[in-house]
Chain A
């Protein structure tokens, strides 16, 4: 006990004593970030927001409430979803490089959605949009395949997990191309436009319909925060602490597939949000997964609103797919993490 450092001591105690307080503070801070991002995203675009016109001009009002606002809300919903799922998958697999794209979940969802589009997008079964359900099933199948391939006995091999994810994505992308080839012209075009990924939306109908699927998925993931915190430290220890590992795993798969499937079905594949956002949250708020999940959720919303605002403005009159913006930002982050990770020999 001679080498106790009072500085370390104080830091450690303050750091953890206030896990609950830290979460509250983080959420207040993030609420401000979210509000700021929303303002910026609402402000910029093909036409700058004109508050005067908004009050007087019927057309300006329609553009704002039917196009701009729903699009910003959609970006927030999709970003929050991807941030949350990314944080959950990283904790579950104890892999800092895990996210919907790198694990092939997005690819599977995209394939499922393409199949649905090729066979008629508007169709519903029991009131559910087929494309959502198909994307969910595709994403779910992908998770199961990738996980089965990477798991050997009691351990999940981190390298194998990512490789299996990459292969899954490639196969799914090829599948999408084949489907496009065989689909009739208008549907092929529809698939093409959708694979590029866009958050173009008219009105709030689609957003409400999505939320019907997303909210249950979000709730399940957030309710599992403590189990995921314990699993992120060590799986066997988590089991000995009373976590039902298999049940938590299944619930995370199910919820992640649902959330990713639905976001992919609407916005196409938007990569790396689930990677950048949880790591930004880590840098800001530490490793505690019980903080990371809600913080990644809010931060993801802010991040994608800004990324989408950038995609609408950087080209002037044109529009860059938001997936391209997030990939340009996220690719380097992935490579940086990979490099850093090698020091810990985790991959």
Chain B
């Protein structure tokens, strides 16, 4: 299943309204069956890039190819069956149960005026089980912790049965244990189901050796990409984050990154 580009972005440009361009000429290739990360300073265009890649935003210039075809040529439903997007936070106001939320992931597969079938329910259950969250099924999402909610969001995305997951800073609100758990789930999905995933993250310590590829964004462009230990280099990170105090060291088979005070 691995190999070949699943998503290819060519010279994407985008501006919100009449504001300055958030993405200016970003290109990247997300390979099938790989776990990739997008890193970069705040405001470097990471979230906008991911929204462009999943079709939530339309580029003002450039093109996104998904599985070799133009993303723009897919209907919204086709798109939702192939690409699942997990926003940074989901603040649901009404006390929907976790299972109800996960079942919304089946809607791209269900005719508009039909309720979910037994198959949809099985898919939702499998998705919750895949992230060890089936025990939350009957709980209202408004009563779940940040970490539990994120797992429900991920399960909803898996219930879509997508070829590719795009996650916008999924670990931002998570503690140490839940961050690691999330990456573990993503790696297992990659290994067992050949899932492709692209994750925006500020967790530079979790990249090497767990991710296959890292894209570093700067000023709306992909400034560097490669294997984690290629990208996590002091000079490169200093430039990406505009911070000369960034340090990177390899030890114990991984790369440690921090910024000196």
Q: List 15 A-B contacts (CB under 8 A).
A: A4-B134, A13-B99, A13-B121, A16-B103, A17-B118, A96-B93, A226-B113, A229-B104, A237-B90, A237-B156, A240-B56, A241-B160, A242-B80, A242-B108, A287-B97
Instruction: Return the chain B residue nearest A9 by Cβ.
Output: B137
Q: Does A178 contact B (CB under 8 A)?
A: no
Q: How far apart sit A20 and B120, CA to CA, in the bound complex (Å)?
A: 13
* B104 A233 Cβ-Cβ under 8 A: yes
Q: Does B105 contact A (CB under 8 A)?
A: yes
Q: Does B96 contact A (CB under 8 A)?
A: yes
Q: Does A256 contact B (CB under 8 A)?
A: no
Q: Find chain A residues with CB under 8 A from B142 CB.
A: 344
Q: Does A145 contact B (CB under 8 A)?
A: no
Q: Does A212 contact B (CB under 8 A)?
A: no
Q: Does B94 contact A (CB under 8 A)?
A: yes
Q: Find chain B residues with CB under 8 A from A236 CB.
A: 56, 85, 87, 90
Total contacts A-B at CB 8 Å? 117
* B99 A12 Cβ-Cβ under 8 A: yes
* B134 A19 Cβ-Cβ under 8 A: no
Interfacial residues of chain A within 218-253, with CB under 8 A of chain B in the complex: 226, 229-230, 232-234, 236-244
Q: Find chain B residues with CB under 8 A from A237 CB.
A: 85, 87, 90, 104, 153, 156
B17: min CB distance to chain A, Å? 9
* A242 B138 Cβ-Cβ under 8 A: no
A5: min CB distance to chain B, Å? 6
Q: How far apart sit A9 and B85, CA to CA, in the bound complex (Å)?
A: 27
Contacts from B to A (Cβ < 8 Å): 54, 56, 75-77, 79-80, 83-85, 87, 90-101, 103-105, 107-108, 112-116, 118, 121, 124-125, 129, 132, 134-135, 137-139, 142, 153, 156, 160
* B138 A12 Cβ-Cβ under 8 A: yes
* B115 A23 Cβ-Cβ under 8 A: yes
Q: Find chain B residues with CB under 8 A from A244 CB.
A: 76
Q: Find chain A residues with CB under 8 A from B124 CB.
A: 16
Contacts from A to B (Cβ < 8 Å): 1, 3-5, 8-9, 11-13, 15-17, 19-20, 23, 94-96, 158, 226, 229-230, 232-234, 236-244, 282, 287-288, 290, 344, 346
Question: A234, A240, A290 — which one has the most chain B CB atoms within 10 A of its CB?
Answer: A240
Q: Find chain B residues with CB under 8 A from A346 CB.
A: 93
Question: A12, A15, A229, A233 — which one has the most chain B CB atoms within 10 A of its CB?
Answer: A12
* A4 B135 Cβ-Cβ under 8 A: yes
Q: Find chain A residues with CB under 8 A from B104 CB.
A: 229-230, 233, 237-238, 241
* A12 B94 Cβ-Cβ under 8 A: no
* B87 A8 Cβ-Cβ under 8 A: no
Known A-B contacts A12-B97, A16-B121, A346-B93; A240 and B138 likewise in contact (beta carbons under 8 Å): no
Known A-B contacts A12-B99, A19-B115; A344 and B138 likewise in contact (beta carbons under 8 Å): no
Known A-B contacts A8-B138, A15-B99, A290-B115; A239 and B90 likewise in contact (beta carbons under 8 Å): no
Q: How far apart sit A124 and B90, CA to CA, in the bound complex (Å)?
A: 48
